[in-house]
Amino acid sequence: MSINKNNLTTSWGAPVGDNQNSMTAGSRGPTLIQDVHLLEKLAHFNRERVPERVVHAKGAGAHGFFEVTNDVTKYTKAKFLSEVGKRTPVFVRFSTVAGESGSADTVRDPRGFAVKFYTEEGNYDLVGNNTPVFFIRDAIKFPDFIHSQKRHPQTHLKNPTAVWDFWSLSPESLHQVTILMSDRGIPATYRHMHGFGSHTFKWVNAKGEGVWIKYHFKTEQGIKNLTEEVARRIAGENPDYHTEDLFNAIKNGDFPSWKLYVQIMPLEDANTYRFDPFDVTKVWSQKDYPLIEVGRMVLNRNPENYFAEVEQATFSPGTLVPGIDVSPDKMLQGRLFAYHDAHRYRVGVNHQALPINRPRNQVNNYQRDGQMRFDDNGGSSVYYEPNSFGGPTESPEHKPSAYPVSGMADSVAYDKDDHYTQAGDLYRLLSEEERTRLIQNIVNSMKPVEKDEIKLRQIQHFYKADPEYGRRVAEGLGLPVPE
Q: Is 319 in the site for ligand HDE (CB under 6 A)?
A: no
40 within 8 A of 33, measured Cβ to Cβ: no
Among residues 141 and 455, whose Cβ is nearest to ligand HDE?
141
Q: Is 417 left (phi over 0), alpha (psi -120 to 50) or beta?
A: alpha
Among 318, 328, 334, 378, the residue binding ligand HDE under the rule CB under 6 A is 334
Q: Residue count at the site for ligand HDE (CB under 6 A)?
A: 26
Q: Per rule CB under 6 A, is residue 114 in the interface with ligand HDE?
A: yes
Contact call for residue 328 and ligand HDE (CB under 6 A):
no
- Output the smallest distance, CB 77 to ligand HDE, in A: 24
Q: Does residue 129 carry a catalytic annotation?
A: yes
Binding segment for ligand HDE among 53-61, 184-192, 231-239, 368-376 (CB under 6 A)? 53-61
Distance CA 441, CA 434 (A): 10
CB contact at 8 A, 359 and 124: no
Binding string, residues 266-295; x marks residues near ligand HDE by CB under 6 A: --------------x---------------
**What residues numbered 140-179 form the site for ligand HDE, per CB under 6 A?**
142
Q: Which of 167, 203, 258, 339 binds ligand HDE (CB under 6 A)?
A: 339
* Phi, psi (rounded to 5 degrees) for 146: -65, -40
- The piece of 26-34, 49-57, 208-216, 463-471 that touches ligand HDE (CB under 6 A) is 49-57
Q: Point out which span in 23-31, 55-63, 251-259, 281-289 binds ligand HDE (CB under 6 A).
A: 55-63
129 binding ligand HDE? (CB under 6 A): yes
Check binding of 128 to ligand HDE (CB under 6 A). yes
Among 76, 82, 88, 95, binds ligand HDE (CB under 6 A): 95
User: Other CB atoms closer than 10 Å to residue 425's CB: what's the count?
Assistant: 15
d(CA 145, CA 331): 13
Q: Is 56 annotated as catalytic?
A: yes
Residues 297 and 299: their CA atoms lie apart, in Å, by 7
CB of 138 to ligand HDE, least distance (A): 8
Residue 88 phi/psi, 5-degree rounding, is -130, 130
Among residues 123, 129, 350, 357, the one annotated as catalytic is 129
DSSP secondary structure, 322-364, as one string: TTEEE---HHHHHHHHHHHHHHHHHT-TTGGGSTTT--SSPP-
- Answer yes or no whether residue 93 interacts with ligand HDE by CB under 6 A: yes
Strand-pairing partners, residue 326, are 201
Q: Is 338 in the site for ligand HDE (CB under 6 A)?
A: yes
Q: What residue number has its CB nearest to ligand HDE?
A: 112
Strand stretches in 155-209, DSSP E: 195-196, 201-204
What is the signed CA dihedral for 378, 381, 382, 383, rounded to 10 degrees? Answer: 20
H or E, element range at 260: strand 257-266
Q: What is the 3-class SS of 386-436, one letter each residue?
A: CCCCCCCCCCHHHCCCCCCCCCCCCCCCCCCCCCCHHHHHHHHHCCHHHHH
Nearest distance from C-beta of residue 51 to ligand HDE, angstroms? 9
Query: Which residue lies nearer to ligand HDE by CB, 342 or 443?
Result: 342
Taking only Cα atoms into account, the Rg of the chain, rounded to an integer number of angstroms, comes to: 25
Contact 212, 270 (CB under 8 A): yes
Q: Does residue 139 interact with ligand HDE by CB under 6 A?
A: yes
Q: Which stretch binds ligand HDE (CB under 6 A): 24-32, 168-176, 339-347, 356-364?
A: 339-347
CB-nearer residue toward ligand HDE: 341 or 385: 341
Which residues are at the interface with ligand HDE (CB under 6 A)?
Answer: 53-56, 59, 93, 95, 112, 114, 127-129, 134, 139, 142, 198, 280, 313, 315, 331, 334-335, 338-339, 342-343
**Catalytically active residues, by annotation:** 56, 129
